[in-house]
Amino acid sequence: MLCDTFPKLVSICGGWLLHKTSGGGGQRKLLVIPPDSDGYNGNQLKSVSGNGKSTLYIVPLQKKLDTTPLPSDAKELENMPKAQCSVCSEMFPLQCLPMHIKECKDDHVILFTSTDEELERSPEADNSNSFLTEKTAECPVCKNTFDSDIIEIHASDCGLRSGDILNSISGKVDETNTFSICVSRTDIFIRGMQQWQRQKKSSPKSRLKVTFFGEAGIDTGALRKEFLTEMLAEIERRLFICGADKRGKNPLYCVNSVDRNYFRSAGEIMAVSLAQGGPPPAFMREWCFRYLCSGDYDSIQVSTSDVTDLEFSLLIEKINNSTDDLSDLTDEILNCGYTGEVSLEKKNHIIRAIVLHSTLRVIPMLDQLRKGLQLYDLLRVMERHPDLCLPLFVPGEHDDKVDAAFILENCHPSLSERGSVRYNKEMNVMNFFQDFLQEMEDSGVL
């Protein structure tokens, strides 16, 4: 399979091994992955890569791997989707097209410049040159500069982790303005929601500034974090309901909360908390998170364990424990939307109808929550990287092991100006610290 996917491996003689690294940047050593007695297998690669979260590297043992790009007409690219270059009218694979566009534009810019002395510039030529002007943009994850034509493709493949997700949306906070909230600690949920919705002078995209009634003090970050922590705790308590297994919560079915736009404000507060140093809203059930990412209920799998409403949970328990007939439960079953025969033979169909009724009726709450999560383009990030965002919304052990990458991911050093001598020394210190942590992890200390 590897040779079919990477045809250049076919010509490699002398063998090769897979290597891995646990994340991070700077000076890092690749660690060899020893094959099992029967070679590499799917279970082994799934385990060492953290279910595909870590990048694996193919390292030939005796020969160098050819890394020259394939031509656009290579056999390996025949089945890839193609598009036409609007400048030279040639067909290129979509993955190769961004780099070709850059080179093609550069060639035409040189051509236009050389003919300016001979030809009189026309309005069409001016428009063409303005279109061909090279533009660059900075990747919000790795902070490297790329051509504007390929920045989106690079960003989608850049080595993201949960911490990188937070850094990427944090960079979209409007630091020039403030979103001021003045609340009382008494009934902070109602007062906070009212102040949040009444604020008209600025957008929640701005830096949040919090003041508590009757308390003196300037918000330098601590008050903001305290407010977000208490608000998320109240949102979890008032707008979500937990099941018996304690594996996350479903939205509470409450039409009044939807009518008051509480769920939309809750989504905005969740996004602000993630972007501005607050705690993550890690209290939802996984099916709720999957729906927030896709917005498509048909693709979501739900089961009886996802029913958190006590009334429906007791009804399902009564049906499971029933041995005679279900005549006493007919009214309750019909109220859940089930229209078939009420009998023990249809027990599975009845329970499935109750599960769907319990989850489908909270879809309007989740839809309103999705609107709030559009802040900082967080919803788009969730759609592109659902597995990376999962630990931010769903409780449980999701790659929370404290290792070298985890420590570095949570380090936020205050560095000097980029390019200065002090900045270079500080980066060297961080690189040495990274190597030290990696050595501790390799030795088993971490």
What is the per-residue pLDDT across 111-140, written as a single tens digit (0 to 9) for each? 444 444 444 444 444 444 444 444 677 765
291 has a pLDDT exceeding 60: yes
Mean pLDDT, residues 273-292 taken together: 93
Report the percentage of the chain scoring pLDDT > 70.
Answer: 83
- 233-247 pLDDT, tens per residue? 999 999 999 887 778
Q: Give the pLDDT confidence score for residue 160 in this predicted structure.
A: 56
Q: Taking the alpha carbons of 305, 361, 291, 340 in that order, is the dihedral positive or negative?
A: positive
pTM: 0.56
pLDDT in tens, 414-441: 888 888 888 889 888 988 888 888 888 7
CATH of domain 173-301+363-393: 3.90.1750.10
Higher-pLDDT residue of 147 and 425 is 425
- The pLDDT of residue 65 is 76
Spell out the domain ranges in the chain.
2-60, 86-156, 173-301+363-393, 404-442
